[in-house]
Structure 1
């Protein structure tokens, strides 16, 4: 259990999630009071509901994509001198706060600077065979092109130590930003040594709400398509 959370910021890209974002923020803030939602040009009242739930909201005037939203959130979190860790956290209710607590504890204990969430280290996440196949293909490509060894390179749940956040410079705004983050972390050196990272099992909850938005399979397909295009 996380004993201290004042040094943790949850960075939440936000785009048209008015139905769920209030509950997502309230649940997260029970354990991690510092939450910044980057409203990426939403056309509904997502931003207002996030603010009502206690999040800081930074706005993009137009939709720039999840990569850009994460970079904006990192830049905001870095203005807090007390911040030691950033957590990338989805706005649609698929991520579990208990997983964040375990991942933050793992970074605190060291020596890792980054913890990536993985759907494939246990059996809690219920994903179709096709989705798993597409994601594993994307992971294989990412591992080959970045020199890392991950089981789930495109999971949006990550914990990053401040020094890593300071060095990230996300330029891929759409789905390919996940591979870019992995590539940049794989290339980082601290005192001449490669950045230390680990994976942790996480439960991605594919709800009726997220499935209705088409996120269950098409996100995975889009990830693979963008990787091939790059």
Structure 2
């Protein structure tokens, strides 16, 4: 488990799982929490049961579709979305990732928490901005923590990805390093997220720096392995 290093209020609890310590066999070895990646259902159930021991309730598992849709746990029945938030004690917001960027958020008063799944499509589509807006507190009162994602030395993208970000925020050009092959870039998804959070008024952004692609023993990576498991990033009010 990774315990986020951010100055969240004492009643805000959060964690990110790693790939270690579970029941799944190869290639999902071993703490896979995704039930949509081909792993044996019994193994996923065992891993989720193990995770549940750390939590006050079953997480609000989303059906993630790389969108900007945000749901309120306990109120929205349709959980086909890429972010969730709650104001209720004991509701657990969760996202699954294996290269995409997980972002956990809370306010300084500890009255609301949220979790967002920010792959490049969702990030460019405004999932972080939408999540900040649904929290219904001043953006300057929000803290954000970025979990492990594919690092800037491994995240290869094409011109269309770079343009999607630069068209909205010209400063995003600094998050892309050109590659020898024309039209190819290395992208810094952490920097892209910071730019968008800052533009939305969120200045207190923590985390970043871990690479799912290169840290083979700690993290699942879809780009590295294709068939692989999923980590969970979770936040709740206690």
Report the TM-score range of the alignment, normalised by the length of the smaller protein.
0.3 to 0.5
Larger RCO (CA under 8 A, 6+ residues apart)? 2
Which structure carries more helix by proportion? 1
Higher strand share: 2
Give TM-score, length-normalised by structure 2. 0.35
